[in-house]
Amino acid sequence: MAKKFYRALVGLSYPTEKAILDRIIKGEKVPFAERNSKEVSAGEIVSDIPDISIHWLLEQHKIEEVKDGEEKGRKETKVLSSTPSTEGEEEGEVI
Q: Is 32 helix (H, G, I), strand (E, B) or coil?
A: helix
Integer angstrom CA distances of residue 14 from 1, 11, 32, 47, 86: 23, 10, 10, 12, 23
Host domain of residue 55: 6-94
The pLDDT tens digits for 42-67 are: 999 999 999 999 999 999 999 999 98
- Please report whether residue 67 resides in a domain: yes
- Please report whether residue 55 resides in a domain: yes
- Please report whether residue 38 resides in a domain: yes
- Please report whether residue 26 resides in a domain: yes
The pLDDT tens digits for 8-41 are: 999 999 999 999 999 999 999 999 999 999 999 9
Number of folded domains that form the chain: 1
Give 54's DSSP letter.
H
- Please report whether residue 46 resides in a domain: yes
